[in-house]
Structure 1
Amino acid sequence: MSILIALIIVCGIVASWLWYRAWHDDNANSGRKEKALALILQQARATADETTRALETSGTTDVDVLTEVVWRRTEAPLITYDTSRREFTAAVAKSTLYDEEAILPGAGPVKVTRCFVFSYIHRTGQAWTSQLSERHDDVCRPSTDIGGKVSLALTQISNMYAEDLSRAGIQKGLDPTGRRVYDVKSVVTKGQAVTAFVLVSSFEGAADQCYRFTRPLGDDGKGSAAVPASSC
């Protein structure tokens, strides 16, 4: 009987400890998650301010140049421009990691993501202004999808033979099955580089973005780059 009582006491202590650890870990992880999300928001606000200053000091009204200014700061794969409103809109998902605590093995870094839409407006005779809004993850999915497709396209173009860097050659290389995910609009060779304007579409055609791919004519394709453009 004494052994049974001892076992009951031990089991009770273990259960209490497990409950406490679960409660402690849950609270600790919730706090870490909130801090990680707050950090993403803080960084997004800083990005919005930095981009506004860069647009203000750019000294140009060229939409392509301004699109690149927005892209280099926000890293948004999808950037649109409303001519009537003189407004750029950039959608991008921002992520960070935090370490999660757990009793069982397998705990470690956890990724959290927030979807942001940056808006930059330039009224006649006024300075650039910005607006940052957090949106549902669905809003950023087309942008994220386009970003992934652009990375794949850049790798493909970088690895192509120089003699295949024609409009037909690049179209075949990027879209061999004819799904029209990539639509090569034009290809120009100037000096020692090839420039291709490609319309990249997201899943189910929810959105598309023109990209300017630049590929040096060297066989290794080193130095190739992809930058969003206002139009193709």
Structure 2
Amino acid sequence: MAPDKTGGAVVTRRANGLVTTGCLTVLIALAVILGIVVSWLWYRHWHDGNVNREREEKAFASIGKQARATADDTARALGTSDTTDADALTGVIWQHSEAPVITYDASRREFTATAARSAQYDEDLMLPGGGPVKVTRCFVVTYTPRPGQAWTPRVSERDDDVCRPSTQIASRVRLALTRISSMYAEDLTRTGVQKALDPTGRRSFDVRNVAREGDKLTVSVLVSSSEAAVAQCYRFTRPAPGDDGQGSATAVPTSSCS
């Protein structure tokens, strides 16, 4: 008796139908899961972008608020100062603002301080790479005297390029502080300090004078940015112990090198 081929074909078709249905079910499930994942990723990207943008705006606003507050505090300090000496007033501005570059216009008795201000915020990211982000704004503040010893600050924001020289000068002043502090007293001559600060002859530092007054040494240096685009005089002061001694130095910008 011949085998029933019709019944076998029916079973095969049913099996194929079940396999096809099962594959479609799996594909549909995968499509649903993929859709959920894509939607979640899009939401996280949208959410993190909004959060980070809000944090960045707050950081920028905080920098501006602090810059204006510092300018007002500095103006009040200038108004209560008992001196008209340009170097002393430059020191007052430095004490309150720590601006690396402070210039003086003698014809107007006007000071201009240039400095970059920074703040940080935490960035949210799904992938590795998030964390603290630093934002910077560049400010130029002009202090103008008014009748009655009042000083008026004028704060203006500039492009980052304007503050780049002052940032370079600030970095070089920190370097000079480290080197002058580590020098032996016997090497603190004009030639010795020049060699220590500028061993390669790049002319970033021009030592103008080294003087000893009692137990202190004062070093006057013209500190320049790259290509001498901007220069600022600084007075470095440190203890002057015995010839084998060292001492921590301080630095203050001055209106002129002497």
Report the TM range for the smaller structure's normalisation: over 0.9
In structure 1, the residue matched to 2:78 is: 55
Quote the residue 1:79 is aligned against. Answer: 102
1:88-107: CA deviations, max 9, x gaps? 00000000100011101221
Out of 217, 222, 231, the position equivalent to 2:240 is 217
Mapped contact 1:197–1:212 kept (Cα < 8 A) = yes
Cα distance in 1, alignment partners of residues 228 and 74 from structure 2: 28
For the residue of structure 2 that corresponds to 1:187, the secondary structure is: strand
Q: Deviations over 1:1-57 (max 9, x none)?
A: 100110011001000000000000000000000001001111111101100100000
Q: Does 1:160 align with 2:160?
A: no
Q: Residue deviations 1:172-197, cap 9 Å, x none?
A: 11011112110000010111111010
Q: 2:123 aligns with which of 91, 97, 100?
A: 100
> Does the aligned pair in 1 maintain the 2:80–2:149 contact within 8 Å?
no
Distance in 2, matches of 1:174 and 1:213, equals 12
1-structure distance, mates of 2:146, 2:109: 7
Distance apart, 1:220 and its partner CA:
3.2
Contact 2:198/2:204 (8 A) holds in 1: yes
**Which letter does structure 1 place at the counterpart of 2:85?**
D
Q: Given the alignment, which residue of 162, 176, 182 partners 1:139?
A: 162
190, 194, 207: which one aligns with 2:230: 207
- Measure, in 1, the Cα distance between the counterparts of 2:247 and 2:104: 31
- The answer to which of 160-169 and 213-222 deviates more is 213-222
The amino acid across from 1:42 in the alignment is: K
How far off is 1:108 after superposition?
0.5
User: How far 1:126 sits from its partner (Å)?
Assistant: 5.5
Q: 2:187 is matched by which residue type in structure 1?
A: D
SS in 1 for 2:246: coil
Please report the TM-score for the alignment, with normalisation by the length of structure 1: 0.97
Where do 5+ consecutive residues of structure 2 fail to align? 1-23
Q: Which amino acid aligns with 1:231?
A: S
Write out per-residue CA displacement over residues 114-164 of structure 1, whole angstroms, 9 at most, x where no aligned residue: 000111011455621110001100000010000000000010000011110
Match of 2:11 in 1: none
SS at match of 1:139: helix
- Aligned equivalents of 1:109 and 1:145: distance in 2? 23
In structure 1, the residue matched to 2:174 is: 151
Larger radius of gyration: 2
Distance 1:164 1:59 in 2: 37
The CA distance in 2 between the partners of 1:135 and 1:211, in whole Å, is 24
- Determine if contact 1:86/1:123 at 8 Å carries over to the other structure: no
1:183 and 2:206 correspond:
yes
- What is the identity, as a one-letter code, of the residue corresponding to 1:104? L
Q: How many residues align?
A: 231
Deviations 1:50-84, CA, capped at 9 Å, x for gaps? 00100000021010000011111111000000011
Q: Which amino acid aligns with 1:179?
A: R
TM-score with structure 2 setting the length: 0.88
- Give the match's secondary structure for 1:221: coil
**Is 1:88 aligned with 2:114?**
no
| 1:65 aligned partner | 88
